A and B are shown apart, each in its own frame.
Chain A
Amino acid sequence: MIYFDSAATTLQKPPQVARAVQSAVGTLTGVGRGGHRAAMRAAETVYACRALAAELFDAAPEQVIFTMNATHGLNIAIRTLVPQGGRVVISGFEHNAVTRPLHALDAHITVAGRRLFSPDETLAAFEEALAQGQDAAVCTQMSNVFGYVLPVMPIAALCRRYGVPLILDASQAAGTLPVSLQKTGARFIAMPGHKGLYGPQGTGLLLCAGDARPLLFGGTGSSSASQEMPDFLPDRLEAGTHNVCGIAGLLEGLRFVRARTPQGILRHETRLLRELLPRLRAVPGLRVFSGERQGGVLSFTVEGMDCEEAAALLGRHGAAVRAGLHCAPLAHESAGTKEEGTVRVSFSAFNTAEEVHTFARLCKKLFAPAEKPKFPTCY
């Protein structure tokens, strides 16, 4: 199978990730829940993961919070900064992980920058909204649908200038683009473990620059005599027993990313993108979305064919991609593809140029009008 759905979850992981998870199941217990060998080894493993994440993302170890996924982290961040009915500026490419929590708070949302691959327009729209005063700004570093890399450093500088706390969604960026708590001055940065960090599903990180409001309340293995949640990080945001096995796997994923370097992985994915783009553009009937600032994600549509049917057809021929709205209707609205959706291709460090060439040939065979099946069967 050609796996091109890493923007959802990387399927191919370094083999040491699975080994670490398996080993942890039988050797590690909970963190902060005892002084015996299995508990202390768990604590050491979890701390090693925390410390490595801190090193990779310019934070202190205590500022690294383990979450279930990026959505979990974004909910903590949004619930901390946005009051009921608060004012928030977001980019035009946010995921439902951002927009649904804001909707639940009945927030007044200003959408800044709706044009794809137009960083100047994005920036100008953010400045206009920030100047009006906001409780928070939320911005994805890279669109999960189109791979558009947003200008987060200048947006972060604007947020600092206007005194608006910034929440960064690094879901697609972590592992390929620079992600820095210190350099952006962001209040929160959320990311999943199971995408570009090559960890298991059910892992995530929230980088937390200041005080935060817990979503979960319960045991932390610290300050146990008090009925208040601890007032210090990371304990304040980590109630209940950690996903130690997942974190053990994530540690190996992070070690892989450190060894390959995010820049190296980005270079690899960009090379694959450059191989694929002209080949897809040469297929009649395909509309391919691409631009200057693009990571290893791209979307296309097939003239006269439902995107889900196109993805199912590719799947039956051995290529795994994702179609539809990708949980980001706002991004599709911005790009004008909300009605039809798109087929999304996304890469990882494990994809090859040969896979890209095979995939392009497959698209030509399946989607070029002369050879398109009259009655595509995908049921």
Chain B
Amino acid sequence: MNDVFFTFRSVTAAMRGSRLLADQSIRSLTVRTPKLLQEQGCGYSLRIRAPDAARARQAFEQAQLRYSRIYRRGGDGQWQEVTL
């Protein structure tokens, strides 16, 4: 429950993001984007521990890797968009 999801439009972008994070020693899991979070249909997300989220965003921005949105699942089980 304490994880955040960075959503990406393509699996290539997600894979690139995963490598960028690994270079920064940030652990991530590449997963299919949950259906409720899909804006235009299928996509992939990187699931990251919440304390790493700000560093992850910084790494993506430095590498000019575009993610779509950032989400977190609240205690009520609902997805919430997060602004870091």
Contacts and interface: CB of A to CB of B under 8 A. Distances in A.
Given A47-B16, A222-B43, A34 B11 contact: no
Contacts of B15: 43-44, 47, 61
B10 A232 contact: yes
A221 B11 contact: yes
A62 B11 CA distance: 10
Interface string A37-52: 0001001100100110
Interface of A: 31-32, 34-35, 40, 43-44, 47, 50-51, 61-62, 220-226, 230, 232, 234-235
13 contacts: A32-B11, A32-B42, A43-B30, A44-B15, A47-B12, A47-B15, A51-B16, A61-B16, A62-B16, A222-B11, A223-B42, A230-B9, A232-B10
B41 A224 contact: yes
A334 B15 CA distance: 46
Interface residues of B, number: 17
A110 B40 CA distance: 44
B15 to A, nearest CB: 4
B13 A223 contact: no
B55 interface: no
A43 B13 CA distance: 11
A219 B12 CA distance: 15
A234 B16 CA distance: 12
B10 A230 contact: yes
Interface of B: 9-13, 15-16, 19, 30-32, 38, 40-44
B10 A222 contact: yes
Given A223-B9, A230-B10, A234-B12, 9 more contacts: A32-B11, A43-B11, A44-B15, A47-B15, A61-B15, A61-B16, A232-B9, A234-B10, A235-B9
B29 to A, nearest CB: 10
A363 B10 CA distance: 54
Nearest to A32: B11
B41 A225 contact: yes
B50 to A, nearest CB: 21
A222 B9 contact: yes
Given A222-B42, A223-B40, A62 B12 contact: yes
Contacts of B19: 47, 51
Contacts of A234: 10, 12
A-B pairs with lowest CB-CB distance, top 8: A224-B41, A225-B41, A47-B15, A35-B32, A223-B40, A32-B11, A224-B42, A222-B10
Contacts of A44: 15
